[in-house]
Amino acid sequence: MKEIEQVPRSALIWILLGMAALLAPHAGRLPVWVLAVYGACAFWRLQIFRGRWRYPGRLVKFGLIGLACTGIWFSYGSLLGLEPTVALLLTAYAMKLLELARRQDAYVLLFLGYFICITEFLFTQDLLIVLYSLITVWLVTTALVALHQGQQRFGTTSLRQAGVMLAQAFPLMLVLFFLFPRIGPLWTVPVKSHAARTGVSDFMRPGDISNLSKSDEVAFRVSFEGDIPARSSLYWRGLVMSRLQEGAWSSLGYYEVPPAERRAPEVATAGDAIDYSVLMMPTQQRWLYSLRYAESSQGGVMEAPDFRLFRPVEIEEQYRYEVRSWPATTLQPALSEWRRETELRLPEGDNPRTVALARSLREAAASDEAFVDTVLARFTNEPYVYTLQPPLLGENPTDGFLFDTRRGFCEHYAAAFVTLMRAGGVPARVVAGYQGGEVNPVNRTVIVHQFDAHAWAEVWLEGEGWRRVDPTAAVSPLRVEQGLEQALAGEGSFLADSPLSPLRYRGINWINSMRLQYDALTYRWQSWVVGFNSENQFSILQEYLGELNGRKFVTILLGSWVLVLVPVGFWLLRRRSPAALDAISREYLAFCQRLARLGVERAPGEPPGAFAERAVVALPQSASAVREVTALYERARYAGGDSTPADTLRSMRRAARGVGRQNRLG
Amino acid sequence: MSYAPEQAAPAAAISWRARLQRRFREWVNRRIPPARSVTLDQKRIFIFPSRVGFFFLLCLTVMLLTAINYENNMSYGLTFLLTTLFIIAILHTYANLSGLSIHAVQARPAFPGQQTEFDLRLERGGSRPRFDLRLGWPDSTEQRVSLVESGSDTLRFYCPVGERGWYHPGRLLIESTYPLGLLRCWTWVDLDLRAVVYPRPLASPDLPGHAAADAGGSAIPVAGSDDFDGFRDYRTGDSLRHVHWKGLARGHSLQSKLYAAYAESDCWLDWDAFAGLPVEQRLSHLCYWALEFERRQEDYGLRLPGVRIEPGRGDAHREQVLSALALYGLGGGA
C-alpha cells in the first residue's frame, strides 16, 4: 500500500542548486570534463523529470563509472592522493543524479554533499571560502527540508526553515568547537600532491625565484612583540644552499652531513633579542623562515647546523611558531675542516672566465673583506641590470651572466657572487628565503608575499664568522629598501600576469585600505580559528575556566546547550492560543458587538443564521454585509473552508466594516 | 515497528517475547487511553532517530575522522554544525506532531471481505503548518498529508474487515520525519473507532415459516395482490404508504388501510425459522433475506432472542436489522 516516495519538484531544484554551489569552489582544481559531466547529468535528470528521457540502465551506469575512473586516471595519472580522490568523488556525485529517483537516493546525495563541503576545507580554510560554504550548507539543508515539505511549487519556505534551524544550531556548534578535545591524527591520510606547492624550493636554478615573484600569494605573516625592524634588515632565512651541481644550487641533506656536524653548534647570543611569531601558509616543505640568528623553544621546531629552523614533518596545514632572534650574534667563529671544504667546493672546469676573474681580483685585494667589497663594487659600477625578465643563459651560465648578458634577478647575482667568492678562496654559500614584507598598519603584522622571495649570500670571514652579503642590493638598492614593486617600477613587470591582484592597486587608497583590513581579519581568522589547536584550546579554557576537570567540562557543555535548547523548544512548542480558527470566532463576536451597538443584540446561544435574519430586518441597509459576514463565518466554522483562514478573516473584516458605515450613512 | 494489538500470540507458545509485547500493549494502553478525540502532547509522542538518521550519524563519524586525521578545524566546525543540527531537529520534528488533534468522525459498516471506511478529522491546532504526516492503521491504507494552507483536513482510510461483529482497527499510527528525515516522531492513538461487520449473506432456497406467495418457489408476498379490506387505527410499524392520508386531511384520526394480502405478507425474519442450523449460518440466512426484502421493497421485521424489530424498510431500517444480526450474541449493543 505504500506509495513510492518521490522527490518533489521543489526539492529537485534545491538539490541541483546545492550541487552547483558545492562544485563552484572546486572548479578551479578539476579537469574541465568533470564540469561537463555535471552539466550533462543535471540536464539528463531534468529531462527525466519532464518525462522526456529515462533513467539509465545498469549497463550504462557501469559504463559511465568505468569512463569516469579512466578519465581521472588520465587527468591525474593516479587514482590515489587527495586531488584525484576528490575529483573521483565529485564525478561520482554528479552521476548519482542519474539515480535520484526516490527519497532514499536524495538522502545519499545530500549527505554526500555535506562531505564534499569538507573536502573543500582540506584545500583551503580561507575566511571567504568558509563563509561561502556556510551558504552551501544552507542550500543542501534546504534541499533536505524541501524533500519533506513535499511541495511541487518552488518557494522559500524550505529555505527559511533550514535557515532557522541552522541559526539555532550555530551557537551549539561553537560550544562544541571550543570544547571538543583536539587529538592528533589517528592514521595517515592521502595528502595534497606536491605539484601544487608554491614557495621557495631547496633547489635553485636561474629563473626559479623570478618565477615565484609572479605570485601574489601570502607566504607567511609575522607579528612582532616589539617594534618592527627596518625593512632592509628583514632577511627571512629559509634555506642554506652549499652545493653547486650541474648549474643548480641545492642544500645538503641530513645524511650528507657527517655525524659530528649534524648538531647545531653552540652559539653565544649577543645584542638585543627580537621576539615574533610566524604564521606560515602550508608549503608541503619542512623548513621554516626566521631572521638570523633564531631559536625557538616551541616543540617540534628543530635547528639545523647551518643555523636555520625546520620541522621534521612537512607543513601540510598552516603552521604557527614562536621565534626569538639575535641579529647581532656571531655565527661560527671557527670553521671545521669539512665545513670549509664544503663551502669552497666548485665543479671542476665550469665557468672558467669567472674563476679566472675571481683569482685575479683576490690577488689584487688585500684581504678577504676587501675582496668582497671589490666584487660588490663591480656589480655597482659595471652596467648590471636588475630585471624579472633576464635573457636565457647557455652553458657556463655564470660566465654568460657576468660577462655577456649582465641582466639578472636576485638568484643570478647571489649565485654569481658565491661562485666568485669560492673561486677566490672565501667560504661562501647561497641563502634562499624572503626579503622584506609589507607592514599592515591595521594589526601591525608583516605580510610576506611570494614575490618577496629572494636569494642572497653568506661569506665566512676570519674573526667575524658568517656575514650576510646581498649582491642584489649592490645592483638595485631599491629592492631591499622598498621592495620588488619599486625596484621594477621602470620595467612595469610587477605582477604582470595577475591584472586583478589587489596588490597592483596599492596606489588607490580605499582599495588598499580594504585589502589591509581584510588581511588583518584573515590573520586573526588564521591564527585563532583555523589555527585553533590543543595548545591554545587548553590555554584559553584554563584562562576562562580555571582548573579544568571532567565535571566542569560536562557542566559547561550541557549548560550552554540548555541555554539554547530551552528557548528554542519554548518558541516551537508554545501554544498559539489565538489559533486561526479562533481568530475567526473573535472576528464574528466583534461583529455581533458592532450590531449590538446598533441595537440588535444576539441572544445567548442564538444560531448565527437566525440572528442574521433578525439583524437584516432591523437594519435593512446593511442586509448584504450582515449576510456576507454570517455566511463567511458559518462556512469557516462548519464546512472546513476551502479558503485559508487568513483570507476568510480579511473578507470578514472588510464586510463587517461595511455594516457600520452603511448604517451611519443611511 | 508497527503496532498491532490484534495480533494474539498462539496460546501454546507464549514466549517471553509475546509476554513482552503484551506488557508493552498494556503500557501503551495506560499511557494513551482510547478516546474519540486526541490532542498529541509529550505523553503521547515518541521520538527516535530514523534509519536515515543512523545513516547520517555514520556520515558524521566519517566526517569527524576526516577532521581529526587532517587536523582541519573547519571540518570540525562543519561536523559539529551538522551534529547540533541533528539535535535541533529533535525539537522541530517533535513540534511537527505536538499539538495536532485527531478526531474520530465515523466508521462505515461493511460485509466480511469488503473494506470499511474510517473517516478522521485532523486539526493542526495553531497556525504553524504541519508537514509530511503519515497516518494509517496496521491493516488500512496509508495517508500522507500536510496541513499548510488550511487548518484541518478530513481523511478517509480503507480497511479490509474480518468476520461478523465489531471490527477494531487497532491503534492508528501517526508518524512524521519532517523536517530533515533524521528523526522519526510517532504516536499510536486508539480513537475508539470500530466498524460493524454484518454477517456474510448466505442464500437459502426459501424462508421457512413464511407462506410462499407464488409457485415460482419464492416465498415473498406479492405486493400487488392487495384487495382493500378496511381501516384500522395506525400502529407504529405500519407502512406510511398504507396510511389513509385523505382521511387524515379530512380531520379523521390517523388510520391505516388494510389489505387482504397485507396481513399475510407482514413478514418476519425469524430466528426460529432456521432451527437446527449453526448460529452463524442462521444469521447469514437472515441477513440474506433482509437484503432480499430490501431489494424487493418489502417490509420485514426481525425476531431474534431478546431482539424484536417491527417490520419496515429503508436504509435506516436495513441498517438496524443488519446491525442487530451483526452484533447478535456479542453483547454491548450498537
Residues with Cβ within 8 Å of residue A268, at least 6 apart in sequence: A329, A330
pLDDT band of B14, cuts 50, 70, 90: low
Q: What is the pLDDT of residue A604?
A: 60
Closest CA to A10 of A122, A148, A187: A148
Q: What is the pLDDT of residue A418?
A: 93
Which of B52, B66, B72, B85 should be substituted to probe chain A, the one whose Cβ sees the most A Cβ atoms within 10 Å?
A: B85
Query: How near does any CA of chain A get to the CA of B220, in Å?
Result: 44
From the DSSP assignment, how many helices (H) and strands (E) are in chain B?
7, 16
Contact of A222 with A413, CB cutoff 8 Å: no
Measured between alpha carbons, how far is B70 from B73 in angstroms, rounded to an integer?
9
Residues of A in contact with B136 (CB under 8 A): 1
Task: Give dist(CA A527, CA A43) in Å, integer.
Answer: 43
Say whether B95 and A572 touch across the interface (CB within 8 A).
Answer: yes
The CA distance from B99 to B119, in Å, is: 20
Burial of A52 (0-12, 13-18, 19+ CB in 10 A): exposed
| A428 phi/psi in degrees, rounded to 5 | -150, 160
pLDDT of residue A577: 45
Substitution target in A111, A313, A526 with the highest count of B β-carbons within 10 Å is A111
Backbone angles phi, psi at A334, to 5 degrees: -125, 135
pLDDT of res. A220: 92
Q: Do A173 and B56 touch (CB under 8 A)?
A: no
Catalytic residue from among A26, A412, A449, A454:
A454
Question: Which residues of chain A are within 8 Å of residue B85 when distances are taken between CB atoms?
Answer: 141, 165-166, 169
Q: Which residues of A touch B80 (CB under 8 A)?
A: 172-173, 176-177, 180
Minimal-distance CA residue of chain A relative to B81: A173
Q: From the list A1, A184, A569, which residue is nearest B141 (CB)?
A: A1
* Whether residue A194 lies in the annotated active site: no
Most confident of A11-25, A329-343, B99-113, B238-252: A11-25
Return d(Cα A169, Cα A157) in angstroms, integer.
18
Q: Measured between alpha carbons, how far is B128 from B151 in angstroms, rounded to an integer?
A: 9
Determine the angle formed by the axes of helices A103-123 and A9-23, rounding to 10 degrees: 20
Q: What is the full DSSP assignment across A523-557?
A: HHIIIIIIT--HHHHHHHHHHHH-S--HHHHHHHH
Q: How confident is the model at residue B79 (pLDDT cuts 50, 70, 90)?
A: very high
Start-to-end CA span in chain B (Å): 33
Pairwise CA distance, residues A236 & A431, whole Å = 9
**Which three three-digit cell numbers place residue B164?**
461478523
Tell me the H-state helices in A103-238.
103-123, 127-149, 157-179, 208-212
Find, among A102, A118, A89, A109, the residue nearest to A42 by Cα: A109
Q: Which amino acid is at A547?
A: E
Mutate to test the interface with A, among B91, B139, B173 (most CBs of A within 10 A): B91
Q: Which three cell numbers stand for residue A52?
A: 522526456
Per-10-residue mean pLDDT, chain A, length 666: 68 92 90 90 90 88 89 85 88 90 91 93 89 95 91 83 94 89 79 62 77 82 91 90 87 84 82 91 87 86 88 84 89 87 87 90 89 90 86 83 88 91 91 90 90 91 90 86 80 76 79 87 86 82 78 85 87 61 72 82 72 83 84 72 67 78 48
Q: Indicate which residue of A41, A117, A410, A592 is catalytic.
A: A410
Answer yes or no: are the C-beta atoms of B140 and B157 closer than 8 Å: yes
Asked if the peptide bond before residue B70 counts as cis, ω within 30 degrees of 0, the response is no
What pLDDT is stored for residue B289 in this prediction?
A: 85
Higher per-residue pLDDT: B157 or A545: B157
Helix (H, G, I), strand (E, B) or coil at A465: strand
B176, closest residue in chain A (CA to CA): A148
- A642 noted as active-site residue: no
Q: Is the pLDDT of residue B207 over 80?
A: no
A470 is catalytic: yes
C-alpha cell at B228: 382493500
What are the b/e assignments for B232-265, b being 16+ CB within 10 Å? Answer: eebeeebeeebebeeeeeeeeeebbbbbebbeeb
Q: Which of A557, A266, A251, A618 is nearest to A433 (CA)?
A: A251
Provide CB contacts within 8 A for B200, sequence distance 6+: B111, B112, B113, B163, B164, B284, B287
Q: Which three cell numbers stand for residue A137?
A: 550548507
Q: Per the structure block, which three cell numbers stand in for B142? A: 496509508
pLDDT digits (tens, 9 = 90+) for B19-56: 888 888 888 888 888 877 888 887 788 999 999 999 99
Could you please report the per-residue DSSP string of A280-330?
EPP-SSSB--BPSSEE--STT-EE-TTS-EE-SS---S-EEEEEEE-TT--
Q: Give pLDDT, residue A467.
A: 92
Q: In angstroms, what CA-CA distances link A176 with A172, A240, A537, A553?
A: 6, 44, 12, 11
Beta-carbon separation of A576 and B62 below 8 A: no
Residue of B nearest to A134 (CA): B78
CA pair distance A315, A311, nearest whole angstrom: 8
Distance CA A517, CA B301 (A): 97
- Domain boundary assignment for chain A: 9-179, 203-505, 580-665
Predicted ipTM? Answer: 0.76
Q: Report the C-alpha gap between A354 and A417 in whole angstroms.
A: 10
Q: Which letter, b or e, does each residue of A188-199 get, where b requires 16 or more Cβ atoms within 10 Å of its Cβ?
A: eeeebbeeeebb
User: CA A302 from chain center: how many Å?
Assistant: 28
Residue with cell 605573516: A221
User: Is B328 or A606 the better-scoring residue by pLDDT?
Assistant: B328
Q: Please report, to the nearest 10 degrees, the dihedral formed by the alpha carbons of residues B285, B287, B292, B298 taken in order.
A: 120
B218: confidence class by pLDDT, cuts 50, 70, 90: very low
> Cα separation of A407 and A401, whole Å?
7
Q: What is the pLDDT of residue B331?
A: 62
**Cβ-contact A448, A353 below 8 angstroms:** no
In A, which residues are within 8 Å of B128 by CB distance? 576
Closest CA to A172 of B81, B89, B116: B81
Q: How many CA atoms lie within 13 A of A562 on its CB side?
A: 6
Kindly state the helix (H) or strand (E) to which residue B38 belongs, with its residue range.
strand B37-39
Q: Report the C-alpha gap between A346 and A337 in whole angstroms.
A: 16
Higher pLDDT, A397 or B243: A397
What tens digit of pLDDT does each residue of A165-179 get? 999 999 999 988 988
3-state secondary structure of A561: helix
Residues near B176 by Cβ (< 8 Å), separated by ≥ 6? B93, B96, B97, B130, B131, B132, B133, B134, B184, B185, B186
Strands annotated E in A398-443 = 407-408, 428-435, 438-440
> What is the rounded average pLDDT for all residues in chain B?
80
**Phi, psi angles (nearest 5°) of residue A82:** -70, -45
- β-pairing verdict for B46-49 and B37-39: unpaired
What's the pLDDT score for residue A638?
A: 65
pLDDT attached to residue B230 = 67
Local structure of B244: helix, strand or coil: coil
Q: Which grid coordinates are listed for B316?
A: 435506516
pLDDT (tens digit per residue) in B255-313: 777 664 444 456 888 887 777 788 888 888 888 888 888 888 888 888 888 888 888 88
In whole angstroms, give the CA distance from residue A319 to residue A283.
10
**Phi-psi domain of A307 (left: phi exceeds 0; alpha: psi -120 through 50; beta: other):** left
Nearest Cα to Cα of residue A262 among A294, A305, A233: A305
pLDDT of residue B333: 42
Give the rounded percent of residues in chain B with a pLDDT score beyond 70: 84
Phi, psi of A77 (to 5 degrees): 75, 10
